Amino acid sequence: MARDKVFPPPAGSAYQCTRIQRADLCVDQHPLLFESLRELALESCLEVAGCTLRIGLAASTWQLQQARALLEHFQLAPARVFDPNHAAHPEDHAVALALSVGPVRSSQPRARGVIALHRDSTHGLHLDRRHRASLDRLRACGARLAEVEQLVFDRSAHLTPLLPPMIQVLAESVSTWGITDIVTECPRQHASFYCTQFGFRRVRDASCHSSHVLLHLPELRIQKLQSLMRTN
Protein backbone atom coordinates (compact mmCIF):
# COMPACT_ATOMS: atom_id res chain seq x y z
CA MET A 1 0.00 0.00 0.00
CA ALA A 2 1.35 3.42 -0.88
CA ARG A 3 2.33 5.57 2.06
CA ASP A 4 0.66 8.92 2.60
CA LYS A 5 2.80 11.98 1.97
CA VAL A 6 4.33 13.21 5.23
CA PHE A 7 3.11 16.69 6.09
CA PRO A 8 4.38 18.57 9.16
CA PRO A 9 1.72 19.27 11.81
CA PRO A 10 0.33 22.80 11.94
CA ALA A 11 1.57 24.91 14.83
CA GLY A 12 -0.42 24.40 17.99
CA SER A 13 -1.85 21.05 16.97
CA ALA A 14 -1.12 17.35 16.88
CA TYR A 15 -2.34 15.14 14.08
CA GLN A 16 -4.70 12.29 14.70
CA CYS A 17 -4.14 9.38 12.35
CA THR A 18 -7.39 8.02 10.95
CA ARG A 19 -5.80 5.08 9.11
CA ILE A 20 -5.92 1.66 10.77
CA GLN A 21 -2.50 0.11 10.10
CA ARG A 22 -1.79 -3.62 10.38
CA ALA A 23 1.37 -5.23 9.11
CA ASP A 24 -0.46 -8.46 8.19
CA LEU A 25 -3.34 -6.79 6.36
CA CYS A 26 -3.46 -4.73 3.19
CA VAL A 27 -6.88 -3.35 2.34
CA ASP A 28 -7.55 -1.58 -0.94
CA GLN A 29 -8.96 1.87 -0.24
CA HIS A 30 -10.41 4.44 -2.56
CA PRO A 31 -7.90 7.28 -2.10
CA LEU A 32 -10.38 10.10 -2.70
CA LEU A 33 -12.84 8.65 -0.18
CA PHE A 34 -10.13 8.14 2.41
CA GLU A 35 -8.71 11.63 1.98
CA SER A 36 -12.14 13.26 2.16
CA LEU A 37 -12.65 11.57 5.53
CA ARG A 38 -9.25 12.45 6.96
CA GLU A 39 -9.55 14.78 9.91
CA LEU A 40 -8.42 18.37 9.83
CA ALA A 41 -6.24 19.38 12.77
CA LEU A 42 -8.34 20.90 15.59
CA GLU A 43 -11.43 19.96 13.60
CA SER A 44 -14.95 21.08 14.43
CA CYS A 45 -18.22 20.76 12.50
CA LEU A 46 -20.68 23.49 11.68
CA GLU A 47 -24.14 23.45 10.12
CA VAL A 48 -24.68 26.50 7.90
CA ALA A 49 -27.78 26.97 5.73
CA GLY A 50 -28.37 23.22 5.54
CA CYS A 51 -24.74 22.47 4.64
CA THR A 52 -22.37 20.66 7.00
CA LEU A 53 -18.88 22.12 7.07
CA ARG A 54 -15.71 20.75 8.62
CA ILE A 55 -13.43 23.49 9.93
CA GLY A 56 -9.83 23.16 11.06
CA LEU A 57 -6.19 23.40 9.99
CA ALA A 58 -5.19 21.66 6.76
CA ALA A 59 -3.34 18.50 7.76
CA SER A 60 -2.72 16.69 4.47
CA THR A 61 -1.74 17.25 0.87
CA TRP A 62 -5.30 16.57 -0.31
CA GLN A 63 -6.71 19.21 2.04
CA LEU A 64 -4.22 21.78 0.72
CA GLN A 65 -5.31 20.85 -2.80
CA GLN A 66 -8.92 21.65 -1.87
CA ALA A 67 -7.82 25.06 -0.64
CA ARG A 68 -5.88 25.60 -3.84
CA ALA A 69 -8.94 24.63 -5.91
CA LEU A 70 -10.98 27.41 -4.26
CA LEU A 71 -8.28 29.98 -5.05
CA GLU A 72 -8.01 28.84 -8.65
CA HIS A 73 -11.81 28.92 -8.94
CA PHE A 74 -11.59 32.67 -8.41
CA GLN A 75 -8.50 32.89 -10.66
CA LEU A 76 -6.23 33.81 -7.75
CA ALA A 77 -2.57 32.81 -7.64
CA PRO A 78 -2.13 30.35 -4.73
CA ALA A 79 0.74 30.88 -2.30
CA ARG A 80 3.56 28.33 -2.43
CA VAL A 81 2.28 26.62 0.72
CA PHE A 82 -0.58 25.18 -1.37
CA ASP A 83 1.93 23.22 -3.45
CA PRO A 84 3.49 20.74 -0.97
CA ASN A 85 6.02 19.62 -3.58
CA HIS A 86 7.52 23.11 -3.76
CA ALA A 87 6.56 24.77 -0.47
CA ALA A 88 9.59 25.89 1.52
CA HIS A 89 9.47 25.64 5.32
CA PRO A 90 5.87 24.39 5.70
CA GLU A 91 6.26 24.57 9.49
CA ASP A 92 6.01 28.36 9.10
CA HIS A 93 2.51 28.12 7.62
CA ALA A 94 -0.98 27.44 8.95
CA VAL A 95 -4.02 27.09 6.68
CA ALA A 96 -7.52 27.32 8.15
CA LEU A 97 -9.98 25.51 5.93
CA ALA A 98 -13.76 25.12 5.76
CA LEU A 99 -14.65 21.95 3.82
CA SER A 100 -18.12 21.01 2.62
CA VAL A 101 -19.32 17.55 3.65
CA GLY A 102 -21.25 15.61 1.05
CA PRO A 103 -21.40 15.66 -2.75
CA VAL A 104 -20.54 18.82 -4.66
CA ARG A 105 -20.91 19.74 -8.31
CA SER A 106 -17.86 19.04 -10.45
CA SER A 107 -17.45 22.76 -11.13
CA GLN A 108 -17.74 23.72 -7.46
CA PRO A 109 -14.75 23.56 -5.06
CA ARG A 110 -15.24 21.51 -1.91
CA ALA A 111 -13.55 24.24 0.14
CA ARG A 112 -15.84 27.09 1.18
CA GLY A 113 -13.25 29.24 2.93
CA VAL A 114 -9.46 29.54 3.24
CA ILE A 115 -7.28 31.69 5.50
CA ALA A 116 -3.52 31.13 5.11
CA LEU A 117 -1.10 32.47 7.73
CA HIS A 118 2.70 32.65 7.34
CA ARG A 119 4.98 33.45 10.26
CA ASP A 120 8.09 35.57 9.93
CA SER A 121 11.51 33.95 10.04
CA THR A 122 15.04 34.51 8.78
CA HIS A 123 13.60 33.83 5.32
CA GLY A 124 11.27 36.83 5.61
CA LEU A 125 7.70 37.26 4.43
CA HIS A 126 6.18 37.57 0.99
CA LEU A 127 5.29 41.18 1.83
CA ASP A 128 8.98 42.04 2.26
CA ARG A 129 9.19 42.30 -1.51
CA ARG A 130 7.12 45.49 -1.47
CA HIS A 131 7.01 46.63 2.14
CA ARG A 132 10.39 45.79 3.63
CA ALA A 133 10.90 49.24 5.20
CA SER A 134 7.48 49.19 6.91
CA LEU A 135 7.92 45.63 8.20
CA ASP A 136 11.46 46.33 9.41
CA ARG A 137 10.13 49.25 11.47
CA LEU A 138 7.74 46.86 13.19
CA ARG A 139 10.51 44.31 13.72
CA ALA A 140 12.76 47.00 15.20
CA CYS A 141 10.07 47.64 17.82
CA GLY A 142 10.12 43.96 18.80
CA ALA A 143 7.16 42.78 16.75
CA ARG A 144 6.97 39.07 15.91
CA LEU A 145 5.13 39.08 12.61
CA ALA A 146 2.79 36.81 10.72
CA GLU A 147 1.31 37.53 7.30
CA VAL A 148 -2.18 36.69 6.07
CA GLU A 149 -1.16 35.38 2.65
CA GLN A 150 -4.63 34.40 1.43
CA LEU A 151 -8.16 35.03 2.64
CA VAL A 152 -10.84 33.71 0.29
CA PHE A 153 -14.45 32.60 0.76
CA ASP A 154 -16.92 31.13 -1.65
CA ARG A 155 -19.51 33.71 -2.68
CA SER A 156 -22.25 31.53 -1.22
CA ALA A 157 -20.49 31.19 2.15
CA HIS A 158 -22.10 32.73 5.23
CA LEU A 159 -19.23 34.62 6.86
CA THR A 160 -20.84 35.38 10.23
CA PRO A 161 -20.83 31.74 11.45
CA LEU A 162 -17.71 30.76 9.48
CA LEU A 163 -15.19 33.34 10.65
CA PRO A 164 -15.14 32.64 14.42
CA PRO A 165 -14.15 28.94 14.26
CA MET A 166 -11.60 29.58 11.48
CA ILE A 167 -9.98 32.38 13.47
CA GLN A 168 -10.02 30.22 16.60
CA VAL A 169 -8.00 27.42 14.98
CA LEU A 170 -5.51 29.99 13.65
CA ALA A 171 -5.29 31.48 17.16
CA GLU A 172 -3.60 28.24 18.25
CA SER A 173 -0.83 28.83 15.71
CA VAL A 174 -0.55 32.51 16.62
CA SER A 175 -0.12 31.55 20.29
CA THR A 176 2.35 28.74 19.60
CA TRP A 177 4.46 30.94 17.33
CA GLY A 178 4.40 33.82 19.82
CA ILE A 179 3.04 36.24 17.21
CA THR A 180 2.47 39.85 18.34
CA ASP A 181 1.48 41.53 15.06
CA ILE A 182 -0.26 40.40 11.87
CA VAL A 183 0.13 42.11 8.51
CA THR A 184 -1.49 41.70 5.13
CA GLU A 185 -2.06 43.46 1.82
CA CYS A 186 -5.37 43.77 0.02
CA PRO A 187 -7.03 45.72 -2.78
CA ARG A 188 -8.03 49.16 -1.61
CA GLN A 189 -11.71 48.42 -2.16
CA HIS A 190 -11.47 45.48 0.30
CA ALA A 191 -9.63 47.37 3.07
CA SER A 192 -12.84 48.38 4.85
CA PHE A 193 -13.83 44.71 5.18
CA TYR A 194 -10.51 43.81 6.84
CA CYS A 195 -10.69 46.82 9.15
CA THR A 196 -14.32 46.25 10.14
CA GLN A 197 -14.30 42.45 10.45
CA PHE A 198 -10.84 41.92 11.95
CA GLY A 199 -9.65 45.25 13.35
CA PHE A 200 -6.80 45.88 10.89
CA ARG A 201 -5.62 49.45 10.39
CA ARG A 202 -4.03 50.96 7.30
CA VAL A 203 -0.27 51.56 7.29
CA ARG A 204 -0.31 55.02 5.76
CA ASP A 205 3.42 55.45 5.18
CA ALA A 206 3.77 52.12 3.37
CA SER A 207 5.09 52.13 -0.16
CA CYS A 208 2.45 50.17 -2.03
CA HIS A 209 0.85 49.95 -5.38
CA SER A 210 -1.95 52.43 -6.00
CA SER A 211 -4.47 49.56 -6.15
CA HIS A 212 -3.38 47.89 -2.87
CA VAL A 213 -2.90 48.88 0.75
CA LEU A 214 -0.77 47.43 3.58
CA LEU A 215 -2.74 46.57 6.73
CA HIS A 216 -1.54 45.97 10.30
CA LEU A 217 -3.19 44.17 13.22
CA PRO A 218 -1.28 44.95 16.47
CA GLU A 219 -1.11 42.71 19.52
CA LEU A 220 -3.90 44.37 21.51
CA ARG A 221 -6.27 44.09 18.55
CA ILE A 222 -5.31 40.44 18.05
CA GLN A 223 -6.23 39.75 21.68
CA LYS A 224 -9.49 41.67 21.30
CA LEU A 225 -10.35 39.75 18.12
CA GLN A 226 -9.64 36.40 19.80
CA SER A 227 -11.78 37.34 22.79
CA LEU A 228 -14.61 38.47 20.53
CA MET A 229 -14.54 35.26 18.50
CA ARG A 230 -14.64 33.13 21.64
CA THR A 231 -17.88 34.80 22.72
CA ASN A 232 -19.57 34.37 19.31
| The total number of residues written for the chain in this structure | 232
121-158: buried (b, 16+ CB within 10 Å) or exposed (e) per residue?
eeeebebbebbeebbeebeeeebebbbbbbbbbbeebb
Contact 95, 64 (CB under 8 A): yes
Residue 3's pLDDT band, with cuts at 50, 70 and 90, is very low
| pLDDT tens column, 93-123 | 999 999 988 766 666 778 899 999 999 999 8
What distances in angstroms separate CA 193 from CA 44, 86, 104, 138, 208, one per listed residue?
25, 32, 28, 23, 19
**CATH code of the region 31-231:** 3.40.630.30
| pLDDT tens column, 180-189 | 999 999 999 9
User: Taking every pair of C-alpha atoms in the chain, what is the biggest distance, in angstroms?
Assistant: 64
Q: What global pTM score does this model have?
A: 0.78
Q: What rounded mean pLDDT belongs to the chain?
A: 79
pLDDT at 14 over 50: no
Mean pLDDT of 130-148: 95
